[in-house]
Structure 1
Amino acid sequence: MSQDLSHDTISISRTIKAPRERVFSAWEDPQARSIWGPPSEDEAIEFLENDFREGGIDVHRCGQSSDLRFRVETHYYEIRRPHRLLFTERVTTDGSPLSISLVSVEIGNSESVTELKVTIQIASLAGSGIIEGTRNGWQRALSNLTAYLEARKVEAE
């Protein structure tokens, strides 16, 4: 067994002051995901393919804005509007696999806010650093999603 194989489960929750349908739509729209998905201002996401449906596949590149070295293939297995998403992500660089994750997104309402819970079950083929990078990237992206949706609410008022 390879020393580089690592596993973990990452759970992240956010309370977002936006309707559940708007939260779901932000996952569905690749332009929106390109805005809130990068974990920092010097990183970017570029969609190459977008097929947001059960059985569909999205493909994007991501990384530093000047070096989109990571390729992510997302396979959608369940899309239950506006409650749940279930998909896998396979991350590679230069054709070499880095990680494979099963991601579940639960979108629940509680009065005037949305309770978002994301669970990532990850197998890293390149050691624990990939897991920490995934954890930090998702935490920042979901904070960006919260800020993006709450700013849009203010703009709409």
Structure 2
Amino acid sequence: MTTRSVTHATFTLRRTYPVPARRVFAAFADPKRKAAWFNGPEEWGPDEHSFDFRVGGRETSRGGPPGGVVHTFNAIYHDIVENERIIYSYDMHLDDTRISVSVATLELRPKDGGTELVLTEQGAFLDGFDDAGGREQGTRDLLDTLGDFLAREAADA
């Protein structure tokens, strides 16, 4: 018999990007832009994505190391205020095992000629398969990747 458990945690991350809020928002709202930075490690290859960015819409991203465990992100968008806020809930799976359920809020605020992104996540981490520390680090890495993407996009403009 499997021992069941749930651990709750909240974390908040802040990043300031030297671009307007509309550019940061577009990196979350536009499917091609999001697919350019919202992925697993490069050695995994491209993720499979489905994307319906609207209130009530769903997003799925699935990928993993070749021949390894498949990581799946399933999100539902609950609130979208263009260039200001995105709220969504999501669950994560490793193969067929749900490892967490979370609510995430992204806030975009003008700061120093750019945009401050404030991400707050409230998570329920299930049965010891995941934890807040690992999720926070993974989210930090994604926000760094977002920053790299925004810098490349600005350089190409």
TM > 0.5 fold call? yes
Where do 4+ consecutive residues of structure 1 move more than 6 Å?
A: none
Residue 47 of structure 2 aligns to a residue in which SS?
Answer: strand
CA distance in 2, matches of 1:28, 1:81: 9
Show the counterpart of 2:48: 46
Name stretches of at least 5 consecutive residues in structure 2 with no aligned partner: none
Instruction: Check conservation: 1:6, 1:128, Cα contact below 8 A.
Output: no
Instruction: Check conservation: 2:27, 2:34, Cα contact below 8 A.
Output: yes
**One-letter code of the match for 1:148?**
F
CA shift in 2, pair 1:154/1:92, >3 Å: same
1:50-91 per-residue CA deviation (whole Å, 9 max, x = no partner) reads: 111001111221333654612221000000001000000111
Show the counterpart of 1:94: 95
Please say if 1:120 is aligned against 2:121: yes
Show the counterpart of 1:139: 140
What is the CA RMSD across the aligned residues, in angstroms? 2.0
**One-letter code of the match for 1:155?**
D
CA distance in 2, matches of 1:69, 1:111: 40
Residue 52 of structure 1 aligns to a residue in which SS?
Answer: coil
1:82-110 per-residue CA deviation (whole Å, 9 max, x = no partner) reads: 10000001112332211000000001112
CA distance in 1, matches of 2:88, 2:95: 23
Instruction: Check conservation: 1:39, 1:144, Cα contact below 8 A.
Output: no
Instruction: Check conservation: 1:40, 1:140, Cα contact below 8 A.
Output: no
Residue 12 of structure 2 aligns to a residue in which SS?
Answer: strand
Residue 120 of structure 1 aligns to a residue in which SS?
Answer: strand
Show the counterpart of 1:22: 23
Moved more, 56-65 or 37-46: 37-46
Normalization by structure 2: what TM-score?
0.87
CA distance in 2, matches of 1:120, 1:37: 17
CA distance in 1, matches of 2:66, 2:118: 28
Instruction: Check conservation: 1:34, 1:46, Cα contact below 8 A.
Output: no
1:6 Cα offset (Å): 1.1
Residue 64 of structure 1 aligns to a residue in which SS?
Answer: coil
CA distance in 1, matches of 2:31, 2:10: 26
CA shift in 2, pair 1:19/1:106, >3 Å: same
Normalization by structure 1: what TM-score?
0.87
**One-letter code of the match for 1:100?**
V
**One-letter code of the match for 1:122?**
G
Identical columns (%): 27
Alignment of 1:29-68 (within 5 A): 29-38=30-39, 40-43=41-44, 44-47=46-49, 49-64=50-65, 67=68
CA distance in 2, matches of 1:23, 1:6: 31
